[in-house]
């Protein structure tokens, strides 16, 4: 079954392709000839992931799914959340975002956080959503060079390494995206039976 993953983020595409393990023919936006920026103006992860998938479905007529992810930090009332990508400004720079996060957490004792991913699948015109969460702690000094985004400051519960100190296989084993994606794959597998 051919499915388009509505993302331009190659890190994410590779993670999802690894989790799908060849079970579906996964294509990206470039494969569809989609070069425009997908709309992302909602104020929740659910709204944004739906907006991206709906755009692709309407304009390209493909079965597809999109994700939206946020880092939700307890002591910051759930920030940066849906604004994670542009937390430090429209330049969407990961280093700037991490530095602002560490600054805003200065003096806070509660450093608990969670990554939350929401996938929206549009299949044969019907919409389905799937959520995945991984909880952890924000450390004081970034560590590691793997991954992307907030990975160097996020240590998942039960581990002593940051996401950026894990290889892709280890991160994929527990990540928010894998957990949401697993629900999506289980759903696809069930309806394909
Ligand atoms: P989006 O899902 O592309 O909107 O991602 C929102 C923001 O969260 C981006 O700044 C990403 O860097 C960050 N983000 C998403 N997934 C991850 C992850 O697995 N690790 C670290 N940061 C992430």
Ligand 1 neighbours by CB, cut-off 6 Å: 9, 67-71, 84-85, 94, 115, 147-151, 163, 175
**Pairwise CA distance, residues 188 & 193, whole Å:** 9
In the chain, pLDDT over 90 holds for what percent of residues? 79
Instruction: For a ligand 1 pocket test, name from 84, 101, 153 the mutation site with the most ligand atoms within 8 angstroms of its C-beta.
Output: 84
Instruction: For a ligand 1 pocket test, name from 85, 114, 161 the mutation site with the most ligand atoms within 8 angstroms of its C-beta.
Output: 85
pLDDT, greater one: 55 or 14 = 55
- Written out in words, the top-level CATH class of the domain with range 2-192 is alpha beta
pLDDT of residue 102: 98
Give backbone dihedrals phi and psi of 25, rounded to 5 degrees, phi first: -80, 100
Q: Three-class SS string for the chain?
A: CEEEECCCCHHHHHHHHHHHCCCCEEECCCCCCCCCCCCCCCCCHHHHHHHHHHHHHHHHCCCEEEEEEEEEEHHHCCCEECCHHHCCCCCCCHHHHHHHHHHHCCCCCCCEEEEEEEEEEEECCEEEEEEEEEEEEECCCCCCCCCCCCHHHEEECCCCCCHHHCCHHHHHHHCHHHHHHHHHHHHHHHHHC
Average pLDDT value for the chain: 93
**Is the pLDDT at 20 greater than 80, yes or no?**
no
pLDDT of residue 2: 86
* Active-site residue identified among 14, 68, 96, 170: 68
pLDDT, greater one: 62 or 14 = 62
pLDDT classification of 113: cutoffs 50, 70, 90: very high
pLDDT of residue 8: 80
170 is catalytic: no
Question: What mean pLDDT is predicted for residues 99-126?
Answer: 97
pLDDT of residue 140: 98
pLDDT digits (tens, 9 = 90+) for 118-134: 999 999 999 999 999 99
pLDDT of residue 165: 98
pLDDT classification of 192: cutoffs 50, 70, 90: low
**Is the pLDDT at 135 greater than 70, yes or no?**
yes
**Is the pLDDT at 193 greater than 80, yes or no?**
no
pLDDT of residue 1: 80
**Is the pLDDT at 66 greater than 80, yes or no?**
yes
Ligand 1, residue 149: give the atom nearest the CA: 12
Q: Name the residue at shortest CA distance from atom 17 of ligand 1.
A: 149
Domain locations in the chain as residue ranges: 2-192
């Amino acid at each position: 079954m051919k499915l388009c993953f509505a993302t331009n983020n190659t890190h994410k595409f590779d993670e999802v392709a690894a989790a799908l393990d060849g079970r579906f023919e996964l294509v990206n936006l470039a494969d569809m000839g989609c070069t425009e920026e997908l709309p992302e103006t909602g104020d929740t992860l659910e709204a944004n992931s739906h907006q991206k998938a709906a755009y692709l479905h309407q304009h390209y007529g493909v079965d597809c799914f999109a994700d939206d992810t946020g880092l939700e930090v307890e002591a910051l009332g759930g920030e940066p959340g849906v604004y994670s990508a542009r937390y430090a400004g429209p330049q969407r720079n990961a280093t700037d975002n991490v530095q602002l996060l560490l600054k805003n957490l200065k003096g806070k004792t509660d450093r608990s956080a969670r990554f939350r991913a929401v996938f929206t699948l549009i299949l044969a015109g019907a919409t389905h959503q799937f959520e995945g969460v991984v909880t952890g702690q924000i450390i004081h000094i970034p560590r590691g060079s793997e991954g992307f985004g907030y990975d160097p400051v996020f240590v998942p519960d039960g581990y002593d390494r940051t996401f950026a100190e894990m290889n892709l296989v280890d991160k994929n084993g527990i990540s928010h995206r894998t957990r949401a994606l697993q629900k999506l794959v289980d759903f696809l597998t069930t309806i394909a039976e």
